[in-house]
Amino acid sequence: MTLKKTPLEIVSDLKKEIAFLSEQIKSKQLLSGAETIRFSCEKFFCECGMKLKVLKTRKKKAVTLAIGEFIAHETILNCKKCENIYYPESLRGLIPFQGNFGFDVIVYIGESLFLQHLSDSEVQKKLKERNIPISLREIAFLGKKFITYLAIVHYESSEKIKDHINQQGGYILHLDGTCEGGSPHLFSSLDSTSGIILHNIKVPSENSKYIIPFLKDIESRYGAPIAVVSDMSSAIIKAVETTYLSTKIYVCHFHFLRDVGKDLLNKDYQNVRRILSNHKIYAVLRKVVRELKCTIDRSEDFTNALEGALKVNQWKEVIGQLPAVVSVYILVSWALEAKQISHGYGFPFDQPHVVFYKRLMEVYPIIEKLREELEINRIKLPMTEILRVYRDIALKETVILADEKILLFNELRKAMRITLNTSKKGLNDEGHSDINSIEKNVKQFRSSKKLEKLSDMVARKKLEKQIDKYQEKLFADPISIESEGGKIKVTPQRTNNSMEQFFRSFKRGSRKKLGTSSLSKMMQSMSPNMALVPNLNKPEYLEQILNGRASLAERFSEIDHQLVLEEMRKENEIARKYHKGMAKLFKVEQLPQIMLHGIRKQAVGE
């Protein structure tokens, strides 16, 4: 008896048949449009001595930069006795097992995405120009694959990197972490002597319980460092002191100054900023500048006067003879752009709001004198709003308090000979290297009368306490170490700039690639091993990880594909917001009641 199919079953069978025919058509089109290259197993006998037999042949689409698109015709052999399977090694040297795109394509995509910081679509366009069609999804996948391969060869090369480190007499470990919004912390380590990034992890927060295993992992691979440099994070310092009992730790001079400066200046500076904001003076003056600019642009005489003043070398002689409209335009703009004299260090080293206030106080009397001439040109200035700021006693007194502390803070900067206003290096400033004279200067500052005269006793005591607490960790004597060339002396860097520069470059490149200022989502999903990519710019590092091979593609081809898949699976699990399978629970409306029922049954022993 034959059972009749339901309409749904008939439709389902039709869909399957259509899908099968579609695949057949695609396969025929593929085979007809590309050249076929045959790959046979290079071995004829099994390790046991038995002659190998053909197990099967198969065809698949393959793409490499060197060849382009082709059909790989693969002959697979096996041993009837041992049941071992042998694949053509020549094909495995070009394309990963179960993959379609060659190792050279993977390397090209990885370097384009993470070294050149191109977007997925830009990489797709560049590959299309080389007659390699590829989807955006595949580019993203192969980019992740590149990072996985790089991480594997990096950690497989730990011994070679360690040998390189030992040849230079050891390594000075720089530690730091970064995050974006509510993302996990990317915690990284770098050897400042060789410039090699050693190890990276993602942790929920900068806590010593996460950092200690990280440091132990570094020690197991490269040995204990001869010194550690970090910022003033108590979690990092605690973790280092717990893990490396005999290793000295030094705090970054830049971070020390920044933290001291914030403690000293933050309260008064934020009050200045808040009062100015309440006056809404910035918005008022920006509106004035826009209106004056329009007036100047509409007048040929005013435009010529401004351009003439900006061109001549003796502008100091000319600038006092300008029309009132142009003069006020320059003066108000000068006050607004107080940040232009900042030196790129950020607060507390730069104080643009205090500078703005002082400039506005200078500008106001001159503007008052020019007001009548402006009114002739039908330009009315918001003098009431400016006068309100000019006469604000609370603001004036707060600036005086801030100024006292700024002068003292600048004295400490001079003593430490870093972040000076004469430097043009900004955040990359390493400061002077004469550590003995710097230590002497700081001790003199600590006992100076300028510090004793600070009116804010709480701020003074806190500053003294900070200097006393970190004095030993600030000043490093040269460390005597044994290298291949004999005894040498190494002085740890005064700053953690190596790490700071690394993170700035990393984030800048990521923003360029993604076309967005927020990296929170990317930091959530990224592999921490992405931070290894800058190492590829170092020839000595490439020599260590290539292990005698001519290229990264050739080195990647030696990696067990199953290991790559397993590592990618682990990364995907770590990146998951929740554990796999939890999504189905979110759809259960009565979940709490079901769990409560189960808890009660368990309690009564049912």
Which range among 91-100, 143-152, 492-501 has the greatest average pLDDT? 143-152
Q: How many CA atoms lie within 13 A of 344 on its CB side?
A: 8
Distance CA 175, CA 212 (A): 12
pLDDT at 542 over 90: yes
| 562: confidence class by pLDDT, cuts 50, 70, 90 | confident
pLDDT at 30 over 50: no
Q: Which pLDDT belongs to residue 423?
A: 61
Tell me the C-alpha to C-alpha distance, in Å, between residue 523 and each of 200, 211, 457, 511.
13, 18, 43, 11
Q: Which pLDDT belongs to residue 128?
A: 92
Quick: pLDDT tens for 231-249: 888 899 999 999 998 888 8
Quick: pLDDT tens for 390-408: 999 999 999 999 999 999 9
Q: Which pLDDT belongs to residue 26?
A: 45
| CATH 3.40.50.720 for domain 158-251+496-546 | no
pLDDT at 572 over 70: yes
Q: Which pLDDT belongs to residue 574?
A: 67
Residue-by-residue DSSP string for 204-228: SSS-HHHHHHHHHHHHHHH---SEE
Domain ranges, ordered by start, for the chain: 158-251+496-546, 253-487
pTM greater than 0.85 (yes/no)? no
Q: What residue has token string 């689409």? A: 61
| 541: confidence class by pLDDT, cuts 50, 70, 90 | very high
Contact 151, 122 (CB under 8 A): no
**What DSSP state is assigned to residue 40?**
E
Mean pLDDT within 32-43: 76
Q: Which of 16-30, 410-424, 483-497 has the lowest mean pLDDT?
A: 16-30
Single out the residue of 86, 85, 57 nearest to residue 73, CA to CA: 57
Q: Which pLDDT belongs to residue 168?
A: 82
**What DSSP state is assigned to residue 322?**
S
pLDDT at 463 over 80: yes
pLDDT at 432 over 60: no
Distance CA 238, CA 209 (A): 10
pLDDT at 68 over 80: yes
Single out the residue of 166, 168, 165, 160 nearest to residue 546, CA to CA: 160
Percentage of the residues of the chain whose pLDDT score is greater than 70: 85
pLDDT at 363 over 80: yes
Mean pLDDT within 550-577: 85
Q: Which pLDDT belongs to residue 567?
A: 87
pLDDT at 209 over 80: yes
pLDDT at 3 over 60: no
Task: Give kind and range of the element (H or E) at residue 77.
Answer: strand 68-78
Single out the residue of 538, 425, 429 nearest to residue 195, CA to CA: 538
Look at 11 and 172; give whichever has higher pLDDT.
172
Look at 488 and 270; give whichever has higher pLDDT.
270
Q: Which of 64-78, 370-384, 406-420 has the lowest mean pLDDT?
A: 370-384
pLDDT at 425 over 90: no
Look at 416 and 422; give whichever has higher pLDDT.
416
Distance CA 563, CA 176 (A): 29
Q: Which pLDDT belongs to residue 82?
A: 82
Q: Which pLDDT belongs to residue 32?
A: 47
pLDDT at 1 over 50: no
Mean pLDDT within 348-358: 94
Q: Which pLDDT belongs to residue 269?
A: 95
Find residue 51's DSSP bridge partners: 45
Average pLDDT across the chain, whole number: 83
Q: Which of 135-139, 446-450, 598-602 has the lowest mean pLDDT?
A: 598-602
| 454: confidence class by pLDDT, cuts 50, 70, 90 | confident
| 97: confidence class by pLDDT, cuts 50, 70, 90 | confident
Q: Which pLDDT belongs to residue 277?
A: 95
Q: Which pLDDT belongs to residue 14?
A: 53
pLDDT at 185 over 80: yes
Residue 82: Cβ within 10 Å count: 12
**What DSSP state is assigned to residue 134?**
-
Distance CA 498, CA 172 (A): 11
pLDDT at 160 over 80: yes
Look at 424 and 459; give whichever has higher pLDDT.
459
Q: Which of 53-57, 230-234, 454-458, 546-550 has the lowest mean pLDDT?
A: 53-57
Q: Which pLDDT belongs to residue 73?
A: 87
Quick: pLDDT tens for 320-342: 788 888 889 999 999 999 888 88
Look at 566 and 573; give whichever has higher pLDDT.
566
Single out the residue of 215, 210, 189 nearest to residue 200, CA to CA: 189
For residue 365, the Cα-to-chain-centroid distance in whole angstroms is 47
Mean pLDDT within 24-28: 45
Quick: pLDDT tens for 272-314: 999 999 999 999 999 999 999 998 999 999 899 888 888 876 6
Q: Which pLDDT belongs to residue 428?
A: 54
Q: Which pLDDT belongs to residue 509?
A: 74
Q: Which of 33-47, 89-103, 511-525, 591-605 has the lowest mean pLDDT?
A: 511-525
Q: With H, G, I as helix, E, B as strand and everything else as coil, classify residue 74.
A: strand
Q: Which pLDDT belongs to residue 243?
A: 94
Quick: pLDDT tens for 103-156: 999 999 999 998 888 889 999 999 999 989 999 999 999 999 999 999 999 999
Mean pLDDT within 199-217: 91
Distance CA 498, CA 160 (A): 23
**Tokens at 315, concatenated:** 């502008």
Q: Which pLDDT belongs to residue 35?
A: 87
Contact 463, 451 (CB under 8 A): yes
Q: Which pLDDT belongs to residue 56?
A: 84
